[in-house]
Structure 1
Amino acid sequence: MLLPSELADLSVNPVPEGGRVIELRTSDHVRLRAAFWPATVAQPRGTVCLFQGRAEQIEKYFEVIGDLRERGFAVATLDWRGQGGSSRLLRDPRPGHVRRFSDYLFDLEAFHEGVVQRFCPRPWFGLAHSMGGNILMQLVRARRAIWMKRIVMTAPFFDFGAFKISRARIRQLSTLLCALGLAGRSIPKPFRKNAIVRSFEGNPLTHDRDRFERTAGLLEFHPELGIDAPTIGWVRAAEASMRWLGDPRLAFSVTEPILMIGCGADRVVSTAAVERVARRLKTAAYVGIPGARHEIMMESDVLRDAFWASFDAFIPGSDARPPARDDAAPGEAVGAARSLSRGEQS
């Protein structure tokens, strides 16, 4: 069992050198685990604040942290409330639960004050995956994301993916069940397919077996870092967070440059919803990566290269590129990225 001040260090997934773990307390009294790594260059290009998706943990992103540091950035990150090394919100630690998505803004407030302002060289950028993208959009909409100069979102969770029932029906059912006192219960088994992924075969997350098994091995050694399916209350909170994305006023309240990455083979979130939101925002751009599953930063090398090419083109000063691989044709990674909407790109 890890202490709150520790990171899991495995031979197949070692902790990047030079970092520090920081324990935070939110204003609503939730304990969070955060971490910071300085850049590996004398003159950092800034700090990338890395925000994970549902059911993830800091350790899963060690490779990504290394990629960002190689580009000259410092990296700051945290485990959201209810997952990773942060406090759970229910007596049973396994279900993924939150009362409402706006509660995650307390986590961002504590992270900004306790990590970013204390340790991180400017300028500050955001890199958010899945649920992290939804949370950052709430921060942007509330006009509280000004401290991030630019934001990249991968497969942001703006709508459910391969659900067989409509969002209106999800709202009705989750509201009813929560009213009956079942908010803390896990979602029914028929809806857990993409929420709990145990086997590499047919998984909706990545084509890369090694990266998939690396995460599986982490959770085998440290099951306390993992969570299972979301609760009914979490689903109700997620659906509520999506409704305001259809508000016409959203287009006028967002001024931060945002790059949204859509994954062409994503079954976890709706790629169409990502593109739709990006097209409505005046300062957003959309890039689609054909064939990529939900976790583009954990994907096979050629698909990851397409992501990093887009990241490098959007985040100022990150002129480093991943080393060329013998099995990649010239221009293969860049050619896989397809820009589909206007937006500030430099």
Structure 2
Amino acid sequence: MADLLVEIPQNPIPEGTVTGRFQTADGLGLRYARIPPGGAANRGTVVLLPGRNEYIEKYLETAGDLARRGYGSAIVDWRGQGGSDRLLQDRDRGYVVDFDDYVRDLDRFFEHVILPDCRGPYYVLAHSTGVLIALLAAPSLANRVRRMVLLAPLLGLPTTPRIALWVRRLASFLYMIGLGKMYMPGRRGRDKLPAFSPASLSSDRERFARNRATVVQRQELAINGPTVAWTRAMFQAIDRVTDPAFMAALHIPLLFLAAGADRVVSGQAIENYASRLRSASLLTIDGARHELLQEADIYREQALAAFFAFIDDGASTGAAASSYGVLQSGKTT
């Protein structure tokens, strides 16, 4: 079923990749991919959780990096995006009513794909919205996942508290009067194929062009802006994971990686959150933009080095350990 994935010369599908679809509890079909570890080694499985408006193909390069280090990987397209089923007739609208739907989908992913077909131990590598979902799911993942690495977490908007409160109240009001399916005002973002610019979420022209070429091949992989319902659900999810009682119950070791030049999520919110957890560390990669795993090598390699050092359970070779030592000279908490 490799035809479920888009393959272009700049982004080959790793050898041995298995793709398929599984059904959610409410009957949606979600696309997934499993990539085996390279060679004879099998050090476990990394569960890759993409962000909003992302898709499996963006993470094939990372899956290849993991395979070369002996880790398999499993990736899912969230409901309403990528190659998974949509919830609205207009396929371009980013829509969900409650982030618990994502959490239930992740649980189903474990039950139907990861636990039966992927070797443990299990780790999570999540990005942006995927981080918020991973944190919501963390209490149920405590007996499944050994460690989590959380990239550019969606824990707040990069704006003033006053503006964030205004956006929250607007989303709640519009939802209350029955407009949950409309685009959040100012967030439609019609162009699925934007040109590379200083506002792009990655500073790497080649990876940006690769992802753009993938969407050229299958434009339905990309969606437009979030709806009112999605935005309201996002704020509710942030409220839940930042509740002190919820945070006190987080026991999975966590490594937060923030992007120093992030314009999508709040770096201050990430710092505040990590500092309040007993089992978390924070590394800020100065100069990096939001999409750390799509970034230029100078930033992306730092993120990967920190990831491998964190999950290797003290068994790191000198190369990985020394790389992490250099990284610790950045801003950490």
The alignment's TM-score, normalised by the length of structure 2, stands at 0.92
Which residue in the other structure is 1:10 paired with? 8
Pair 1:300–1:135, CA change in 2 (3 A): same
Which residue in the other structure is 1:94 paired with? 92
Which residue in the other structure is 1:151 paired with? 148
Matched, 1:338 2:321: no
Higher helix share: 2
Aligned length: 331
How far did residue 4 of structure 1 move? 9.7
1:207 touches 1:293 (CA, 8 Å); kept in 2? Answer: yes
Matched, 1:261 2:253: no
Decide which of 23, 26, 31 is 1:25's aligned counterpart: 23
Matched, 1:136 2:124: no
Pair 1:135–1:80, CA change in 2 (3 A): same
How far apart are the structure 2 equivalents of 1:63 and 1:168?
A: 38
Question: Can you list the C-alpha shifts for 1:207-236, whole angstroms capped at 9, x where unaligned?
Answer: 101111111111111101110111111101
RMSD: 2.5
Which residue in the other structure is 1:110 paired with? 108
1:266-305 equivalences in 2 (<5 Å): 266-305=262-301
How far did residue 143 of structure 1 move? 3.7
How far did residue 251 of structure 1 move? 3.2
* Residue ranges of structure 1 left out of the alignment (5+ in a row): 324-329, 342-346
1:1-346 equivalences in 2 (<5 Å): 6-140=4-138, 142-162=139-159, 166-189=163-186, 191=187, 198-316=194-312, 319=316, 334-335=326-327, 338=330, 340-341=332-333
Q: What SS class does the counterpart of residue 159 from structure 1 fall into? A: coil
Q: What SS class does the counterpart of residue 89 from structure 1 fall into? A: coil
How far apart are the structure 1 equivalents of 2:2 and 2:35?
A: 17
* Residue ranges of structure 2 left out of the alignment (5+ in a row): none
Percent identity at matched positions? 37
Question: Can you list the C-alpha shifts for 1:32-73, whole angstroms capped at 9, x where unaligned?
Answer: 011101111213011101000000000011111111111110
Q: What SS class does the counterpart of residue 250 from structure 1 fall into? A: helix
Q: What SS class does the counterpart of residue 166 from structure 1 fall into? A: helix
Pair 1:175–1:332, CA change in 2 (3 A): closer
How far apart are the structure 1 equivalents of 2:213 and 2:142?
A: 35
Q: What SS class does the counterpart of residue 196 from structure 2 fall into? A: coil
Pair 1:333–1:205, CA change in 2 (3 A): farther
Code of the aligned partner of 1:124: Y
Code of the aligned partner of 1:240: Q
How far did residue 200 of structure 1 move? 1.3
1:267 touches 1:293 (CA, 8 Å); kept in 2? Answer: yes
The alignment's TM-score, normalised by the length of structure 1, stands at 0.89
Question: Can you list the C-alpha shifts for 1:9-50, whole angstroms capped at 9, x where unaligned?
Answer: 111212111111121111121210111011112130111010
Pair 1:321–1:234, CA change in 2 (3 A): farther
2:171 touches 2:184 (CA, 8 Å); kept in 1? Answer: no
Q: What SS class does the counterpart of residue 145 from structure 2 fall into? A: coil
